Amino acid sequence: MSAPHPELRLAAIRQQCKQLQLSVVSAQCGRLAEQADKAHHSHLAYLEALLGAELDERERRAIDRRIREAHFPLVKTLEEFDFAETPQIPAATLRTLAEGAYLRRAEPVLFLGETGTGKTHLATGLAVAACRQRRRVRFTTAAALVNDLVEAQHQHQLSRVTNRWAHCELIVIDELGYVALAEVGAELLFQLIAERAEKAAVIATTNLPFSEWTSVFPNARLCKALLDRLTDRAHIIDTGTESYRFRRTLAQRQTKGSPLASPAPPTVRASETSAPTDRPDLEERQRPLPAPPGRSLGSTEADLSTEGNRRRTALT
């Protein structure tokens, strides 16, 4: 009995892979078999390469799924951040944090700095690194998180929503301190962060120094308790005050050769110009009549003088 044709064997293998949900094995088994035959690889080496390709693709898909589930506004990585332009930010510290030890120890990470100094980019970069380690991550702004909790409380779903957040191994809270919070929202935010203390990691970004947090959290005692939870064993990174985005925009404009526009010269109205006259005699006649000796030229006499000049010009 003759052996089945290679194409028939490939068709049967692909059908079996479909049932086993081995999409990469199905797609690459033929190509890798040809490479193994030409390189005189053993059957085990071929099988190892085939299963390795399947595992690599599943890893990539798992990471992509983690990144999608994190709800990043923009996916940014630490590799994309220009540390050379921001020497005040400790690049070595960020790279060490990206390895994920702070996640295992449930240590908070706080980014403090003015607007445009890279806080959100760095926080997102650490969160993407956590996604690459297949951690469950969720990104949110402080306002959106508080709104979610308050709405859940109104709908009697607070327990379900807080449990959903509790399943995240890392929560990134962006723009903490940008918007003042009502007391109810501040209390719910404190409860969520307090429940994660020493259990799961939190990354937060803020533009306010700690001394000014009472302007956001109306209850001073609650504010102090929240800071106590967030700063305990925390990695606090100051991103500075100079806007990275502003410097980047200036650099781009200088590269394109379009410096900031200089102000236009003031426009001179026609009435403010003194055009030369071709008739000195007419200019002489149009001068106002002199005031009588010993008297200043009053408003009434000035009007009469002007009227006299007008009449003399008409007679001329």
Domain ranges of the chain: 7-70, 78-255
What residue ranges of the chain have pLDDT lower than 50? 1, 260-263, 268, 270-316
Segments in the chain forming alpha helices (H): 6-20, 23-38, 43-70, 91-98, 101-104, 119-132, 142-154, 158-166, 183-196, 220-231, 244-255, 280-285, 299-315
- How far apart (Å, rounded) are the C-alpha atoms in residues 56 and 125? 22
Domain 78-255 in CATH 3.40.50.300? The answer is yes
For position 3, what pLDDT does the model report? Answer: 61
Q: How many CB atoms lie within 10 A of CB 205?
A: 28
Quote the CA–CA distance of 227 and 212 in Å, as a whole number.
11
**Residues whose CB is less than 8 angstroms from the CB of residue 111 and which lie 6 or more positions away in sequence, other chains included:** 119, 122, 123, 203, 204, 205, 206, 237, 239
Query: What are the tokens at 303?
Result: 């009007």
Task: Return the pLDDT at 265.
Answer: 52
Q: How many CB atoms lie within 10 A of CB 43?
A: 9
Query: Could you tell me the strand order of the sheet in which 109-113 lies?
Result: 137-141, 170-174, 201-206, 109-113, 235-240
Residue 182 phi, psi (nearest 5): -70, 160
Strand partners, 140: 173
- Token pair in block for residue 251: 């650099």
